Amino acid sequence: MKIKKLSTLFSSSVLALLLASQARAADSLRIGIEAAYPPFASKTGNGEIVGFDYDIGNALCAQMQVKCQWVEQEFDGLIPSLKVRKIDAIISSMTISEERKKSVDFTNRYYLSNGRIVMKEGTDLGTAFSGLAGKRVGVQRAGIHDRFATEILAPIGAQIIRYASLNEAYLDLIAGRLDAVQGDDVAVRIGFLDTPNGKGYAFAGKPLQEPKYFGDGVGIAVRKGDKVLAERFNQALTAIRANGEYKAIQDHYFKFDIYGE
């Protein structure tokens, strides 16, 4: 009888510990981010992450009354980390695309962005990107721009060079090792064109808007089937847009409405 009581007591203790652990886990969210994409996410000189994605994520966590635990890594490792449960969500300027929807679920968008190609000022892309034949085009590895460049630009003769971050691509563009860089319009403008390094460069051609590649805006990725977490993010996003917090964060980084119509 005594052994049975001890066994029951032990089982109850284990259950209590498990419930406490789950409660603690519910009080925080591990958010994946790549801090190499200003103004959305980058690092200060003392190693702190700053940027629009980071601030929006913290605002959403505060609204949901959970703690954001930021997990920094390269962009192409974010979805694999989400799948194996190393992180719970991704807030890293990830475009909502049909291809990615096969692997993850998305919240509603939290901003809109088109694709653009940047080259030396006055460069003509020609018809159907014919001006890129024989040119070296830099893209971020494993992103939507990589897919677009691989399927649309490579067949016309462009050489696609892949980078861990666009910052590396900008350096090679300046050094003459690239002829063009393709990326999101806002990030390319603020992260390159509006800086001293961007002098003499400009967007070439029209915005890239093909839904197959550039999707339906930028959203928060969660694990496939995690509708509960996606809805919590959606409700929090609605709340910070209604109470003015979203606009305050937006106005700190941009002079325009990045959320879009």
Three-state secondary structure along 44-89? CCCCCEECHHHHHHHHHHHHHCCEEEEEECCHHHHHHHHHCCCCCE
Tell which residue, 81, 100, 99, has the closest CA to residue 31.
81
Q: How many residues appear in the chain?
A: 261
Q: What are 41-81's pLDDT values in tens digits?
A: 999 999 999 999 999 999 999 999 999 999 999 999 999 99
Instruction: For each of the domains in the chain, give its residue range(s) and CATH number, in order of start.
Output: 2-112+217-253 (3.40.190.10), 115-214 (3.40.190.10)
Tell which residue, 65, 82, 62, 64, has the closest CA to residue 73.
82
Query: Which phi and psi angles does 122 have, rounded to 5°?
Result: 90, 0
DSSP state, residue 112: -
Q: What local confidence, expressed as pLDDT, does residue 26 receive?
A: 60
Q: Is the pLDDT of residue 242 over 80?
A: yes
pLDDT bucket at 116, cuts 50 / 70 / 90: very high
